[in-house]
């Protein structure tokens, strides 16, 4: 390994070892080696077919939730098939060993948790749960995955049949006060 990298790593290890409340902040970059496209990369195609503000904003979702789900489908499928990479595993191990108090992430791919991390604060929400905008029931997303990913069926509330909203932050929405 390059001497400069070795030196930088040793410095980083010292800082983490000597800190009392280190946290990790992660964004899209940690998951691109797992095959999750960065929303802002121009070559990923995610932003090329659709304008995100037209499909992934709160107002667009309210008017045309099916279009949002259609846009989200390849991404959701990619997230389900992706595996945590060495960086997710490394951070999870640091957290379990007590060196990190928490992992704060902008990602909605669940890869920190799947790598074994316990205290993950998802500031952009999660794809693991869905909420009914009409009756406010919250559901685990798991039961809806199959029909959605395989046949493109938008998840609907089993109680009132309204289209369910994923518990992620959409464009035009505020970040949560308490990410948990």
Q: Which of residues 139-168 bind Zn ion (CB under 5 A)?
A: 157, 159-160, 162
CB of 164 to Zn ion, least distance (A): 8
Q: How far is CA 5 from CA 17, 25, 89, in A?
A: 18, 20, 20
List 7, 88, 112, 124, catalytic entry: 124
- If one asks whether residue 134 binds Zn ion (CB under 5 A), the answer comes out as yes
Pick from 139, 147, 115, 145: nearest CA to 26: 115
Among 75, 132, 163, 170, binds Zn ion (CB under 5 A): 132
Catalytic status, residue 124: yes
- If one asks whether residue 135 binds Zn ion (CB under 5 A), the answer comes out as yes
Element containing residue 146 per DSSP (H, E): helix 142-151
CB of 156 to Zn ion, least distance (A): 8
Q: Is 21 left (phi over 0), alpha (psi -120 to 50) or beta?
A: beta
Q: CA 88 to CA 132: how far, in whole Å? A: 31
In the bound state with Zn ion, the residue whose beta carbon lies nearer, of 40 and 62, is 62
* Site of interaction with Zn ion (CB under 5 A): 132, 134-135, 157, 159-160, 162
């Amino acid at each position: 390994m390059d001497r400069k990298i070795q030196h930088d790593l040793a410095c980083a290890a010292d800082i983490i070892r000597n800190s009392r409340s280190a946290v990790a902040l992660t964004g899209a970059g940690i998951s691109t080696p797992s095959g999750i496209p960065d929303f802002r990369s121009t070559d990923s195609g995610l932003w090329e077919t659709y304008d995100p503000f037209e499909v992934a904003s709160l107002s667009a979702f309210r008017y045309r939730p099916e279009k949002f789900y259609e846009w989200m489908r390849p991404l959701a499928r990619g997230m389900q098939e992706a595996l945590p990479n060495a960086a997710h595993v490394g951070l999870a191990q640091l957290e379990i060993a007590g060196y990190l108090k928490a992992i704060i992430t902008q990602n909605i791919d669940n890869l920190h948790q799947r790598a074994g991390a316990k205290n993950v604060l998802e500031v952009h929400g999660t794809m693991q749960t869905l909420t009914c905008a009409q009756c406010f029931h919250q559901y685990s997303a798991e039961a809806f995955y199959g029909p959605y990913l395989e046949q493109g069926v938008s998840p609907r509330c089993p109680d009132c049949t309204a289209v369910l909203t994923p518990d992620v932050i959409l464009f035009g929405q505020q970040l949560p006060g308490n990410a948990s």
